[in-house]
C-alpha cells in the first residue's frame, strides 16, 4: 500500500435506499491504494435492502455503522458523520452509488498535504468526475466539461456564482470539521458548497487535474442532467425571456452567501466580505441586474469563453 502522509484518514459515507449500487462503491473503497483508517457509514433510515447489505461489512475492523431512526437528509447526515470523526483525521466524503478509481484517496491526500495549510486553517481538495449512466456506460469523461466549468478559472469570484465542487470528490483536513459544524440546518444549498466557500475564502483549496470517480447518474440522482454545455443557447433564451422580471436565478448562491456571511464574516477579508454582500443584495433584484453582475464576476477569469 502506498501512502502520502502519516495523518490518519477517515471516509464518511452517507446512505439512504442505496442498495442498487452500494456494494460496488464499497468494494471500490476497500480496493484503494491508500486504505482509509476509518470508514464511518451513516444510514438515513433506509427502507430498502441497504441495512442488510451494510451488515456484511460491519465486522471489518475499520468500519463503523450508525443508523438514523428517522430521515434527516443528506446535509445533516453528513454533518453528524463528520462530527463523529476523531480530531486529527483527514476526511473524505463518499456517496453510495459511485465507483472510486483505485488511486482516488492516495492522490487526493497527496494534493491536500501539498497545500501546506496551517494547523488550524481549513483546507480541501476536489476533482472532476466521469459521468456514467445506470448501465455503467460513460456519458461524459468530464462533468466540468459537461457543465462548462472547464472554461474558466476556479476562484472565489467564479465560485460565488456557481459551485463547481462536488461533495463526493472532497477530501479535507481536520480543521474543516469546525466549518461543517457551523453549517445551519437547511435544504437551500448543499454541504459541498458550504465547505468550498470556506476553502476559497479563509482556507486553502485545490483541484486535482484528473477525475478519479465514476459518478453514476440515474433516475433518483439527476444532479448534472440540465447543465450540458449544449444547452447554452437554451439558457440564454431563458435569460432573455426573464430579463425584466423577478427570477430564481442565483437563488441557491444567495442563500449560501447569506448563511456563510452570518457565520464567518469575521474571518473574511474586506474584499471578500464586499463581494459577498454584493451577491446578497441581488436577492430581490430584477433578472437583468443579476445577469450583469454574474457576467462581470466571470469576465477576468475566462480561459475559453465558448469552448
Which tens digit of pLDDT belongs to each residue from 123-136?
A: 999 999 999 998 88
The residue-averaged pLDDT of 118-122 equals 95
The residue-averaged pLDDT of 58-85 equals 98
Q: Is the pLDDT of residue 76 over 50?
A: yes
* Residues in Cβ contact with 68 at an 8 Å cutoff, skipping those fewer than 6 apart: 42, 43, 44, 45, 77
Residue with the bigger pLDDT between 154 and 223: it is 154
First to last CA, the chain: 40
| Predicted local distance difference test score (pLDDT) of residue 306 | 78
The overall average pLDDT reported for the chain is 92
Measured in degrees and rounded to the nearest 5, phi and psi for residue 66 equal: -125, 150
* Fold assignment, 9-216: Spore Coat Polysaccharide Biosynthesis Protein SpsA; Chain A (3.90.550)
Question: How many of the other CB atoms lie within 10 Å of CB of 270?
Answer: 7
The residue-averaged pLDDT of 104-112 equals 98
- pLDDT-derived band at 1, boundaries 50, 70, 90: very low
Distances (CA, A) of 37 to 24, 58, 80, 90, 178: 20, 15, 19, 10, 21
Percentage of residues of the chain with pLDDT beyond 70: 89
Q: Is the pLDDT of residue 307 over 90?
A: no
| Predicted local distance difference test score (pLDDT) of residue 305 | 84
The residue-averaged pLDDT of 92-107 equals 97
pLDDT tens digits along 165-204: 999 999 999 999 999 999 999 999 999 999 999 999 999 9
Residue with the bigger pLDDT between 156 and 237: it is 156
| Predicted local distance difference test score (pLDDT) of residue 269 | 98
Residue 84 grid cell: 463523529
**Cα-atom radius of gyration of the chain, to the nearest Å?**
19
Q: Is the pLDDT of residue 229 over 60?
A: no
- pLDDT-derived band at 79, boundaries 50, 70, 90: very high
pTM equals 0.92
| Predicted local distance difference test score (pLDDT) of residue 154 | 98
Q: Are 84 and 66 in contact (CB under 8 A)?
A: yes
Domain ranges of the chain: 9-216, 229-301
Name the residue among 31, 156, 176, 28 with its Cα closest to residue 91.
176
Per-residue buried b or exposed e for 34-50, using 16+ beta carbons within 10 Å of the residue's own CB: bbbebbbbbbbbbeeeb
- pLDDT-derived band at 4, boundaries 50, 70, 90: very low
The residue-averaged pLDDT of 260-280 equals 98
Per-residue buried b or exposed e for 214-252, using 16+ beta carbons within 10 Å of the residue's own CB: bbbbeeebeebeeebeeeeeeeeeebeebeeeebebbee
Name the residue among 38, 46, 40 with its Cα closest to residue 18.
46
Angular region, 205: left φ>0, alpha ψ -120 to 50, beta rest: beta
Q: Are 3 and 103 in contact (CB under 8 A)?
A: no
| Predicted local distance difference test score (pLDDT) of residue 174 | 98
Question: How many of the other CB atoms lie within 10 Å of CB of 136?
Answer: 11
| Predicted local distance difference test score (pLDDT) of residue 243 | 61
In whole angstroms, what is the distance from residue 6 CA to residue 211 CA?
A: 24
| Predicted local distance difference test score (pLDDT) of residue 221 | 53
Amino acid at each position: 500500500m502506498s501512502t502520502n502522509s502519516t495523518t490518519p484518514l477517515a471516509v464518511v459515507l452517507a446512505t439512504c435506499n442505496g442498495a442498487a449500487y452500494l456494494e460496488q462503491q464499497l468494494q471500490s473503497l476497500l480496493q484503494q491504494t491508500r486504505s482509509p483508517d476509518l470508514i464511518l457509514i451513516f444510514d438515513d433510515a433506509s427502507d430498502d435492502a441497504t441495512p442488510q447489505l451494510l451488515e456484511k461489512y460491519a465486522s471489518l475492523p475499520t468500519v463503523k455503522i450508525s443508523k438514523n431512526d428517522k430521515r434527516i437528509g443528506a446535509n445533516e447526515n453528513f454533518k453528524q458523520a463528520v462530527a463523529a470523526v476523531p480530531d486529527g483525521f483527514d476526511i473524505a466524503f463518499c456517496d453510495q452509488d459511485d465507483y472510486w478509481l483505485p488511486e482516488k484517496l492516495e492522490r487526493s491526500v497527496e494534493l491536500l498535504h501539498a497545500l501546506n495549510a496551517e494547523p488550524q486553517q481549513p483546507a480541501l481538495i476536489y476533482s472532476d468526475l466521469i459521468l456514467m449512466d445506470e448501465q455503467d456506460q460513460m456519458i461524459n469523461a468530464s462533468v466540468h466539461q459537461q457543465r462548462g466549468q472547464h472554461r474558466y478559472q476556479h476562484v472565489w469570484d467564479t465560485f460565488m456564482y456557481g459551485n463547481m465542487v462536488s461533495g463526493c470528490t472532497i477530501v479535507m483536513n481536520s480543521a474543516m470539521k469546525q466549518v461543517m459544524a457551523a453549517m445551519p440546518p437547511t435544504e437551500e444549498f448543499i454541504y459541498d458548497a458550504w465547505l468550498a466557500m470556506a476553502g476559497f475564502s479563509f482556507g486553502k483549496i485545490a483541484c486535482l487535474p484528473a477525475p478519479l470517480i465514476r459518478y453514476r447518474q440515474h433516475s433518483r440522482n439527476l444532479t448534472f442532467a440540465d447543465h450540458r454545455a449544449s444547452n447554452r443557447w437554451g439558457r440564454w433564451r431563458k435569460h432573455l425571456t426573464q430579463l425584466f422580471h423577478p427570477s430564481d436565478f442565483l437563488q441557491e448562491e444567495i442563500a449560501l452567501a447569506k448563511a456563510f456571511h452570518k457565520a464567518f464574516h469575521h474571518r473574511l477579508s474586506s474584499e471578500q466580505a464586499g463581494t459577498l454582500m454584493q451577491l446578497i443584495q441581488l436577492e430581490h433584484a430584477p433578472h437583468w441586474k443579476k445577469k450583469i453582475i454574474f457576467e462581470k464576476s466571470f469576465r477576468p477569469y475566462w480561459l475559453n469563453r465558448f469552448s
